[in-house]
Amino acid sequence: MSRLFLGNNGHKEAVQLAKLDQTRMPLFKALVDYVKEEVMPFHTPGHKQGKGAPAGFFDFIGLNALAVDLTEITELDDLHEPRGVIKEAQELAADLYGADRSFFLINGTTGGIYAMILTVCGPGDKIIVPRNAHRSVVGGIILSGGVPVFVEPVIDEELGIVMGVTYDAVEQALRSHPDAQAVLLLNPTYYGVATNIKEIVELVHQYDIPVLVDEAHGPHLHFCDALPMSALAAGADMCAQSTHKILGAMSQCSLLHVRAGRINIQRLKAMLRLVQTTSPNYLLLASLDAARAQMAAEGPRLIQKTVALARTIRKQINEIPGLVCFGEEKLNRPGMYSMDPTKVTVTVKGIGLSGSEVEYLLRHKYKIQVELADLYNVLFIISLGDGLREARTLVGA
Ligand SMILES: Cc1ncc(COP(=O)(O)O)c(C=O)c1O
């Protein structure tokens, strides 16, 4: 039986639901205060706020970035046992996203996925995962000694793209493997395709096991009704989101959100300690704090604007003979319950070129870099950093 539902996806006014003072950036402020105090650093990192940095590097990167490259001194807290500004910053993130706990990740969603899997899966334990899972899922399973039970996602032969897993496929896996310890879902895929996550989460919970979600491409879902439902809104137990991929944080910065109940938080914290450095980069951590505050202040407006821009780009690309930018006409099919229009996938086979050839042309003739290219497609990520100029340049090329 195929179960497909469209309609109200359950979003709430995310920002209005936050209870804490979301204008605060405790971690970022602590860094700035430390720099302003002109403390003499007899601590790591060895470049001592840029003074010992290689000259050419210093000139390009700039004083401020190196001045806040600090270490875990008392007022800057401890990522692995936070009691001060990192604790506060994480609480603000949890408050904004409606999570019971949120954790800052500085080894990307990769680190979050490792920690999530290691938390629920030990040697010999089964975990149900999509066959198109990211390599970090495979890595997490290897590290845990767990046993993957793969669920085949739907494949769109025409586009040559892997879509989501269906409710039926997950149900079949659960029936065949009632001893599975968890299910991991992808929400949405790299190409922005989302399955009916809410219904699948409810199904998995009937087996009283947790749902982990690789939400690397979904840190913005929470802020806009036009986007697929977020993992937390769907009732998932844990999710890891690449804040750096889609929102304003720096590369490597992700968030791990937890819904209390099925997750052993102490074990999760121990696993995060296992997979993350003891020398977290404070510039990265502060960028997570600032990205959260930015979304609290302006998230709905920025994401709505991004969605509108992406829709305009899609429409204009679809008017170009030979190019196809798949969209909502594909909805309501198995494995494709909803989609994120800001992932602009352009199928280029109609112009007789491969995705990689188009990538090369765009890069070297038009100075445009795509996010990824495959045999038939190129993928452009439209984010809050894009505007009309970028849209015009892209469509013009
Ligand atoms: C689907 C998916 N999951 C996880 C990751 C890992 O995310 P990160 O680069 O933040 O470690 C990626 C990265 O591309 C991804 O595409």
Is residue 28 in contact with ligand 1, taking CB distance under 6 Å?
no
Which residue out of 114, 136, 137, 243 has the highest number of ligand 1 atoms within 8 Å of its CB and is therefore the one to mutate? Answer: 136
- Residues 390 and 397: their CA atoms lie apart, in Å, by 11
CATH of 299-396, picked from 3.10.20.90, 3.30.70.600, 3.90.1150.10, 3.20.20.80, is 3.90.1150.10
Report which DSSP code applies to 37. Answer: T
Tell which atom from ligand 1 comes closest to the C-alpha of 214.
3
Answer whether 109 contacts ligand 1 (Cβ < 6 A): yes
Distance 256 CA to ligand 1 centre (A): 13
Which of 106, 109, 162 has most ligand 1 atoms within 8 Å of its beta carbon, as the pocket-test mutant? Answer: 109
For residues 261-274, average pLDDT: 97
Q: What is the pLDDT of residue 14?
A: 58
Band (pLDDT 50/70/90 cuts) for residue 8 is very low
Taking CA atoms only, the protein residue closest to ligand 1 atom 16 is: 190
pLDDT at position 330 is: 87
Q: Where are the domains of the chain?
A: 14-295, 299-396
Give the C-alpha separation, 212 to 332, whole Å.
24
Question: Does the structure show a pLDDT above 50 at 129?
Answer: yes
Residue with tokens 């979600």: 213
Q: What is the pLDDT of residues 289-335, one digit of tens each?
A: 999 999 999 999 999 999 999 999 999 999 999 999 999 888 888 88
CA of 246 to the centre of ligand 1 (A): 11
Ligand 1 and 187: CB distance under 6 A:
no
Tell me yes or no: is domain 14-295 CATH 3.40.640.10: yes
Question: What pLDDT, in 10s, does the model give residues 66-121?
Answer: 999 999 999 999 999 999 999 999 999 999 999 999 999 999 999 999 999 999 99
- Rounded Cα distance between 260 and 180, Å, is 20
| Span from the CA of 240 to the centroid of ligand 1 (angstroms) | 9
pLDDT digits (tens, 9 = 90+) for 206-226: 999 999 999 999 999 999 999
Going from the Cα of 111 to the center of ligand 1, the distance in angstroms, rounded, reads 10
CA distances (Å), origin 10, targets 146, 230, 337, 339, 352: 34, 9, 14, 15, 42
Q: Please determine whether the domains at 14-295 and 299-396 fall in the same fold group of CATH.
A: no
pLDDT, one tens digit per residue, over 35-67 is 999 999 999 999 999 999 999 999 999 999 999
160 token code pair: 């040559």
Burial zone of 176 (CB within 10 Å; 0-12 exposed, 13-18 middle, 19+ buried): exposed
Residue 9 Cα to ligand 1 midpoint, Å, equals 24
Nearest to 82 by CA among 107, 103, 53, 57: 103
Burial class (CB in 10 A: 0-12, 13-18, 19+), 199: middle
Task: Name the average pLDDT for the chain.
Answer: 94
Contacts 24+ apart (CB under 8 A), 266-270: 267/119, 268/103, 268/115, 268/116, 268/119, 268/238, 269/80, 269/103
Q: Kindly state the average pLDDT of the residues 376-391.
A: 92
Which numbered atom of ligand 1 lies nearest the CA of 189? 1
How many angstroms does the Cα of residue 153 sit away from the middle of ligand 1? 18
- Residues 364 and 356: their CA atoms lie apart, in Å, by 12
User: What share of the chain has pLDDT > 90, as a percent?
Assistant: 90
What are 151-176's pLDDT values in tens digits? 999 999 988 899 999 999 999 999 99
| Interface TM-score (ipTM) > 0.90 | yes
* Cα 145 to Cα 312: distance, rounded to the nearest angstrom: 47
Please tell me the predicted confidence (pLDDT) of residue 10. Answer: 43
Element housing 299 (H / E): helix 282-318
More confident: 350 or 16: 350
Q: Quote the ligand 1 centre to 3 CA distance (angstroms).
A: 28
